[in-house]
Chain A
Amino acid sequence: MMLDPVPPPTPAPVEPVGLHVNGCASDLCLPKGATLLEALRNSLGLTASRFGCGLEQCGACMVLVDDQPRHACQLLAADQTGRIIRTPESLAEDALGRLLIESFIAHQAAQCGYCLGGILITAYAWLRGLKGEPSRAEIARTLDPHLCRCGAHPRILAAVAATARAWLDRPR
């Protein structure tokens, strides 16, 4: 049983879009209507931001736009020109991001890990503004926009709490 063969579809017309992602300026050619998530994944190969729902409900696609966590799945790429975008791939570039990643590994805070890119972004943005040691409930509230189906929550909360302690105690 087969579908009738079709000629391959032709490439769609594209428009130039300038994006500033993870410290680099890129000039992309994107079809009209491309989301920021599609641009990051398909044009820039940055796949740690993941598609989960396309509805801003699960948090798997969270990125930083001008330092604020935003769902990349519904933002239009063309509207992001002039903004500073950071994806989970950039976290290893600074001290807090490295602490966070090391803490997730130390706590083995994952099962499938599909949700983690987005969670790292939200945790990172929040930890940057941290004033004092947070309670478990505060961390949980911060991560509530994110869904995890494997039930790795207790470990993720512990990993973020440990990062918070290490970040507050860092030599300054």
Chain B
Amino acid sequence: MSAWLTRSLQDNPRLSDWLSLEVPGRVMLRSGKVELGQGIHTALVQIAAEELALDPDRFDLPPPSTRRGPDEWLTASSQSVESGGMAIRVAAARLREAALAAAARLLNREPSQLNLQQGEVLLGGNATGHDLWSLSVCIDWQQDLCSGAEIKPAASYRLVGRSLPRRDLPGILTGGVFLQDLTLPGMLHGRVLHPPRPGATLASVPTVAFRKRFGDRCRLLRRRDFVAVLAADETVARLAADFLAAKLSWRAPAIDLPEDIAPWLKQQPARLQRDDPIVASEVGSALTATYTRGFLLHASVATSCAVARMADDRLHVWCHSQGLFLLRAQMARVLGLPDERIVLEHRPSAGCYGHNGADDAALEAAMLAMAVPGRPVRVLWSRGDEMSAICGSAMAIELKAGLDGEGRMTGWQATVWSGTHTSRPGAGGDINLAAAAACDPQFASRSIVDVPEAVGAGALRNVIPLYDLPAVAVRHYQLTKLPLRTSSLRALGAHPNVFAIECFIDELAHAAGCDPLDFRLRHLTDPRAINVLKRVSEIAGWRPDAETGNGNAQGLALARYKNRAAYCAIVAEVELAESVKVRRVWCAVDAGIVINPDGARNQIDGGIVQSLSWCLKEAVRSDKGAIAGLDWDSYPILRFSEVPEIITELVAPAGEGAGEPMGVGEVSQGPATAAVCNAASRALGTRLRHLPLTRERILKAL
């Protein structure tokens, strides 16, 4: 497949799927990729503006909607530029070609004699009287883009590669842009009383007491294990939900997550999903180590929200889903409505970092709206709802590798225990929407499937080391009955796998009596990997002779996201007393052609900060049979005082594929955690293998 013929383009092959000229002087650009705070819409406009030689301010990019598409599946997996952006590049280039061809016909010239500047067709630098908008009627908007287009050479770029400011930031600073801010006339406020954890059933609902307290001011809606309240005013809805929450009684299986999670994970019901044969002698007299990460919450600063209205047999839902069409298909099944009677429209919420409650809230709002036809209903989750709905799976990774007499690795075996990294709507043919299963057991999820390896894998994302190895074998135990609902969390399995691999590489380097940097370089032949590794060690002042065990140290890590996207190498410097303090982080990334360097750095640095939070602080804990993470006190995340200085450099790409862009939203999480853990282990003089690196764990290791 040609690099430019991406999934986004194949699924939406017509010019009109991406571009239209509806208002003179302006270009309407459409994308199915949603803005999650990653600045994607700014970058997508830059790509289109470059090919059309038109000022970015003259583009409109409406929030994605199922009303007209394009259907770009999911905004996930760092694919928005790689797949969506490249489709837009082809579409914009084709529009330029089509406009110039049309003008050439009208002017009796060759297209090559003409060019397009700020929408005007020029001949020898002079206006021709034709522009994009006047030529629009001559353009075949239904033309198929899959044969490609003449893309501008990178050397001529004026907009791509520039750090244009975010289009949406001024609006964010002064309010009013979020889904949570949407108000419709006559809007009612709903709150759903969520079960404390998966598998919980309602024992009793105090309907009489509720009615006595709230009368007609608040409706109580129930079906099986689904309970919600609906009021004309948000205050009343909130108070009613609080009143009910204190009185509802749930039958819920006890949950007990031990501090040492590896044996627990290995005991969970599992399906052997992959089991590569390995010749035992290839691993030789090997080192073995097990690494773990706990369950992590997405922990968005906003709580999930949706607004829905059912009118004239049509359902309109405003939501913050990452996959509008996937969600619509499952909502249609549950609600018994045909797809075409449902419109889902995206509005930004706070960053979600993967599959959080956005989809669940959308169905809840729809169900409530259908109970009061004609009236819009807004559903907003509580902090506790947000912290108990979905998490990223805990993982245990057992690594085994042999070393020969020259200190080279002879073979590698990875065994992974993990829950699924996708339970998005439709995954495995299941509906995967909590309210549907609560109302009707026929809608409960049955199949536990992970992200297929062909689309980047889930638990096995980045399980294969980047290093030259004579033999690599993978065994994958898919855990099928976890007590928590797990789904996509930023980087999926790449975070725990890179953490494990890169820490284990340090252990092997130590066993081989070799500097961790030299040991990595000795096993690398990919020039782009070598390049970022060398660059980060230069800017960080990596010292091979640094002492270990004296409380201060640097640690190093490297990864190529999904083994096929951007390269990232990180050095972290830590100070270790009773706890780990990260003082400074250096990072070098090769992401190919970068559309917006400042936006890319923002994503990389944000990924590092989030990763440090995961590494140092985060794991879902249980307490007396219940989840103990329902607020920010019991599930702390990194605060301002704990954020180190970060120095990130985008290195110039060279070699194979250097001209293609590669997403950076998930490139830094794995290396950042590994670099910190390696630094902390060196500072401590003993290996740390289990996340998070809490004070208790450090004291225990001391």
Interface set of A (CB-CB < 8 Å, partner B): 1-13, 30-35, 38, 41-42, 45-55, 57-58, 60, 88-89, 92, 101, 104-105, 108, 110-117, 120, 136-137, 139-141, 143-144, 146-157
Contacts and interface: CB of A to CB of B under 8 A. Distances in A.
Contacts of A54: 238, 382-383
24 contacts: A1-B334, A3-B370, A6-B219, A6-B221, A7-B219, A8-B188, A9-B217, A33-B239, A38-B235, A48-B174, A52-B301, A53-B632, A108-B169, A110-B37, A111-B351, A112-B37, A113-B37, A147-B301, A149-B353, A150-B351, A151-B608, A151-B613, A153-B643, A155-B605
A100 B380 CA distance: 31
Main secondary structure of the interface of A (DSSP, over half): loop
Contact of B216 (A9, A60, A92, A117): A9
Interface of B: 36-39, 163, 165-166, 168-170, 172-176, 178, 180-181, 183, 188, 215-219, 221, 223, 226, 228, 230-236, 238-239, 299-303, 334-336, 348-351, 353, 367-368, 370-373, 375, 380, 382-383, 436, 439-440, 443, 598-599, 602-603, 605-610, 613, 631-633, 637-641, 643, 645-646
Given A151-B610, A153-B640, A88 B175 contact: yes
A104 B605 contact: no
A160 B258 CA distance: 42
Nearest to A54: B383
A148 to B, nearest CB: 7
B188 A48 contact: no
A76 to B, nearest CB: 10
Contacts of A155: 602, 605
Contact of A50 (B168, B174, B216, B302): B302
Contact of A146 (B169, B443, B640): B640
Contact of A110 (B166, B303, B439): B166
Contacts of B610: 149-151
B221 A3 contact: yes
A11 B232 contact: yes
Contacts of A31: 233, 235-236
Contacts, number: 243
Query: Which 7 pairs of residues, A with B, have the shortest CB-CB distance?
Result: A112-B37, A151-B609, A48-B175, A151-B606, A114-B350, A113-B172, A111-B37
B188 A9 contact: yes
Given A52-B301, A108-B598, A154-B646, A2 B336 contact: yes
Most chain-B CB neighbours within 10 Å: which of A46, A146, A148?
Answer: A148
Contacts of B299: 149
B216 A48 contact: no
A103 B577 CA distance: 36
Contacts of A153: 609, 638, 640, 643
B631 A55 contact: yes
B221 A60 contact: no
A116 B169 CA distance: 10
A2 B371 contact: yes
Nearest to A141: B641
B367 A2 contact: yes
Contacts of B235: 12, 30-35, 38
B632 A48 contact: no
Contacts of B302: 50-52, 60, 112, 114
Given A2-B336, A5-B372, A144-B641, A101 B233 contact: no
A56 to B, nearest CB: 10
A137 B183 CA distance: 40
A137 B645 CA distance: 11
B232 A8 contact: yes
A135 to B, nearest CB: 11
